[in-house]
Every structure is written in structure tokens, then in C-alpha cells.
Chain A
Amino acid sequence: MTTTTLHEEHPKHNLTGFIIFLCSESVIFLAFFSGYALLKTSALNWLPNGVEGLEWRMPLVNTIVLVSSSGTIALAEHFKGRGKMLLFRGFWLLSMAMGAYFLYGQAVEWSGLKFGFTSGTFGGTFYLLTGFHGLHVATGILLMGLMLIKSFIPGNYSGGEQGVQATSLFWHFVDVIWIILFLLIYVWQ
């Protein structure tokens, strides 16, 4: 319902639909987060034996990269508004690259971990949360790639491109989720 006022101006409804979808999607993460909190608080030996806490420095670097990519994508949108397509594509590509770096960092971290998916609720929730979020990052990168390709179709943006807005919205969403996730998993130990 909040979306109505947001989008009176647009002729089509895709963005409205997409925002409604994002609101709904956030509830899945809410479910996982509350599950994580509940299991963690009620567990007596939370960490699987042999594991003492998580290394947080590299994930922090990852976090900074991902969060700043929210800025770059905003810039890209801004330049699109100005009609500066080259700058738009540049920053857009940069955001994609940063997202890719984040995924790479995630993969490196995973491969270095001493516990697995099935080692207790800690392992389960850790891989579930990070994995499910990682899926969203990958989806975001794919969407960006799609938009980048579309941006070469002449006159594609003349009517205002909702796809770009939707994609960057999605990207911001993925970032916000990650921040909560980072606080839950790495900061709260």
C-alpha cells in the first residue's frame, strides 16, 4: 500500500509490483534471522567443538566493498538521469565488479572454514544465511548484466527505464540484508 504514492508518476506498474515483491522477500530473511537468533540464544554449546568464533576482518573488507557498491550504483543511476550513458555504464560495471568481488571473498572464506553445513545448528544457519544471501548477490549481478546489455538498445531508455530502477533497488535491498547479516553472524559472537 505504501507503494501507491511512491509511483503515481510511472505509466507502467512493473516497479510497483517489484517493490511489493521486495517487501515480501524480506520476510524470508526475517524468518531466517529470527530462527538464527532463537537457536543461538537457546543453544548451550553453540559453536561446534574445534571451532572458536569466526574470522571477521576479511568479511569486514567484503562488507565495505558491497556497501560502497550501493553508492556506485546510485551514481550510475544519477548519470543515466543526466543522459550521460558512458558514465552510467562505467559505474554500473564497477558495481557489478564489486558484487563479483564480494562473491569471490565469500567463496574464499567458505573454503577456509573448519565446519560444514551439517555441523550443528551453527553450521546450518551460517551456510543457510550466507548462502541464501549470496544467491541474491548473484541474481543482482545477473540483473545488472541484463540491464547493461539493454542499455545498448537504441532509444530503450527514452520512456524512463524501470528495469534499471528495479535492479538498483534490488541491489540496495541485498546490501541492507547483508549489513543485518554481518551484525548477526560476525559482530554478535
Chain B
Amino acid sequence: MTNSSNHSINTSAIAGVSVWVGLVVVISDWMGKQAHHWLPVQASTAAPLVDDLFSFETALGTFVFIGVVSVMVWVMLFNRAEKYDETDAIPIEGNTRLEVIWTAIPFVLVMAIAFWTIRATGELGTLGPMEHIHLRNSAEEAGGYAGDRLPAEQVEVIARQWSWEFRYPGSDVSSTELHLAVDQRVTFRLVSEDVLHGFYIPAFRVKQDVIPGRAIDLNVTPTLEGVYRLRDSQFSGTWFAANQADVVVESAEAHQAWLDNAARSPLQPGLSQAVSEYAIRQARANPGWATVPPAPPPQVNMPGSPDQPHTA
């Protein structure tokens, strides 16, 4: 895109531009690698797919962004009007060849991303969020998912204003702290008793709205032991921010031990920050703007510990 017709300048310009483009490619590649450090630990089979895609997009985005900005900077440095120069520049109305090029290139690029993504989500299909199921027709409900061979542990997730309850039908126990066995595929059945909630575990890179009146199945395979956060990601009212829980991914043995222990322990009030804060709030002379009262804490075998350190 040089407005000079002079041949010798042209060649050197082309040389300069190509050097710069090379440099930008290197920088973009580097940024792409950096992108991985901006994300939480990869604790599920879904995570690597998401992160690679994001890293690729970061690289591409960096290239586009620096490309555009370098033109702007160049122009601002070298195409400034001299002081008191009131004249106009050479009138270039346009250039159809260029228009075609810069229509085609972005088109190809975004379609490439889309293609890659559809393939990635195809694989994610067995891991990531699923088509949801209406409680009403059980025909769908029976249907499993493509490539879903190994028997998955079932965990029922009940979202409320504002607490998370987890039920393990396999060994009928319940908790307000999610416990999972590493490398063991798990199928969550997400239900809400009041409003929309969001089942979001950043370390797993999964997020799925919990919709009242529906049961939504979601398959995940944790791959890394540790303690992670489960956060409500769909605004659910006053204590939305406090509607979080810990996710403990442990070895198969530890997990079994926990389940057995749970089976032995009696039902007791689970964790619910909202309930305690609500009590304080109501105690105040003027409770302030109206709020829906929190649901009582669910009765569970294993409340879990309120504030243990989490890795992500």
C-alpha cells in the first residue's frame, strides 16, 4: 500500500515492509504462547482444547492489531502536514484490487477459525456442555452422547438462591462441596429450584446455565487433583456473588473414602454464606432495598470447609 510510483523506492519499501511483517509474525507467535499463562490451570480434558484455540486467536489477533496500529503510527509520524501547509494530499479515490484483497483475507481467516472451532467443539461435544433435556419428554433423556462409552459417575447439582447442593445417587450422599475423582468422567445433572444460575468451574473451562424447568446434562472429566472454585455465572439476585462452592478433585481412593465417610455422617445444614449475611442484614435497623430471602441451607452429609485455599 505505497503511493510511490518510483521503482527504486518501491523495492526498498517492499523489503522494509516484509522485514516488519516477519517481525510482527514473531511477536504474534510469542503472544500466542503467552496466552496460556493468562488462563487458570488446566484441570479437565476440555481445558487444553479451549486454551489452544484461545492461544491461536491471540496470535492472529496480535498480528491484525499490530498490523493496523503500525500503519496508524507510520502515518502519524511521516504523513503529518507541515506547519502552515494548507494544501491537500494527492487524491486517491480507491483501489478495487486492494478492496478485493482485504475482503478476501479476513474472510479466509475467520472461516479458518470457525472451521477449527467447529471441529474442536465436535470433540468437546463429548466433554463440554450438552444439548439440554426437557424434564418433560423422557425420550431424549434416555439418549446418551456420541463417544460416551465408559460409565460416568452421576452427580446431581441443585442450584438455589443462594447455595449449591450436590447429590451422589451412586452412594446416596449429599454435600455442599463438590468432590470428584481425578480422570473419572462425571455426568452432572443440573437443575434449579428458583431462577437461572450458571454452573461455572474456570479450571475446567466449562460453563452451563442452570435453567428452572429443565434438567441439563453436562459431562466433564477432571484431569488434575486440587481445589478449584465453582462460581455462579448467571446473575441470580442479591447474593449472586456469594453463590460459590469448592470443587475438590482427588484420587479415586480418596474419593471413595470421602463417599464412605459421607455415608456414615448424619445430615446437617450445609454451607450458605447468603443465609448468614441475610441474618446480619435483617438485624440492621434499616435492612435497605428489598431482597428475596435466601433458601435455608440444604441438609447434607458433608457441608465441607468454608474457606480452604483454592488453586483456581
Contact = CB atoms under 8 A, between A and B. Distances in A.
Q: Check whether chain A touches chain B (CB < 8 angstroms).
A: yes
Query: What class of interface size applies to chain A in its complex with B?
Result: under 10
Nearest to A43: B136
A44 B141 CA distance: 15
B137 interface: yes
Contacts, number: 4
A111 interface: no
Interface residues of B, number: 3
A18 B172 CA distance: 65
Interface string B124-139: 0000000000101100
Interface string B59-88: 000000000000000000000000000000
Contacts of B134: 42, 44
A42 B136 CA distance: 9
A44 B136 CA distance: 7
Contacts of B136: 44
Contacts of A42: 134
Interface of A: 42, 44
Nearest to B136: A44
A49 to B, nearest CB: 16
A162 B232 CA distance: 57
B215 to A, nearest CB: 14
4 contacts: A42-B134, A44-B134, A44-B136, A44-B137
Contacts of A44: 134, 136-137
A41 B273 CA distance: 40
A151 to B, nearest CB: 55
Contacts of B137: 44
A42 B133 CA distance: 11
Nearest to B134: A42
A56 B136 CA distance: 29
Q: Sorted from nearest, which 4 A-B pairs have the closest CB atoms?
A: A44-B136, A44-B137, A42-B134, A44-B134
Nearest to A45: B136
A44 B137 CA distance: 8
A44 B139 CA distance: 13
A42 B135 CA distance: 11
Nearest to A44: B136
A86 B136 CA distance: 61
A33 B134 CA distance: 22
A182 to B, nearest CB: 28
Interface in B123-168: 134, 136-137
A144 B13 CA distance: 72
Interface string B92-107: 0000000000000000
Interface in B108-135: 134
A44 B135 CA distance: 10
A44 B138 CA distance: 11
B135 to A, nearest CB: 9
A39 to B, nearest CB: 12
A42 B134 CA distance: 9
A29 B137 CA distance: 29
A118 to B, nearest CB: 17
